[in-house]
């Protein structure tokens, strides 16, 4: 079985409304500080695109591709049954 981590499409996030970006702001931490405004979120996302990042990971992933996201992780059926 394969487990895949969630990720965020940078371009998709840039299509969000200002209100939606403001709601997502506290979930994004830059230099140890959560973002506060929609403009900060938009600037962060634009900076990520400038670095060539099309996708952003949710949490840690040791098999992540910045263009396509998590490439997946093989897990046993036992691990899958326990949500590992």
pLDDT in tens, 35-76: 999 999 999 999 999 999 999 999 899 999 999 999 999 988
Phi, psi of 42 (to 5 degrees): -60, -45
Side-chain-side CA neighbours of 34 within 13 Å: the count stands at 8
Residue with tokens 């209100």: 19
Structure confidence at residue 68 (pLDDT): 97
Task: Quickly state the pLDDT bin for 77 (edges 50, 70, 90).
Answer: confident
Closest CA to 56 of 3, 1, 2, 14: 14
pLDDT tens sequence across 9-45: 999 999 999 999 999 999 999 999 999 999 999 999 9
> CA dist 2 to 58, 79, 80, Å?
17, 10, 8
Q: Give SS3 for 55.
A: strand
Task: Quickly state the pLDDT bin for 80 (edges 50, 70, 90).
Answer: low
């Amino acid at each position: 079985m394969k487990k895949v981590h969630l990720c965020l499409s940078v371009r998709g996030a840039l299509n969000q409304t200002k209100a939606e970006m403001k709601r997502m702001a506290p979930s994004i931490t830059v230099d140890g500080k959560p973002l506060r405004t929609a403009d900060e979120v938009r600037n962060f996302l634009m900076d990520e695109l400038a670095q060539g990042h099309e996708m952003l990971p949710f949490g840690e992933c040791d098999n992540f591709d910045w263009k396509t996201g998590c490439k997946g992780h093989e897990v046993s059926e036992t691990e899958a049954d326990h949500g590992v």
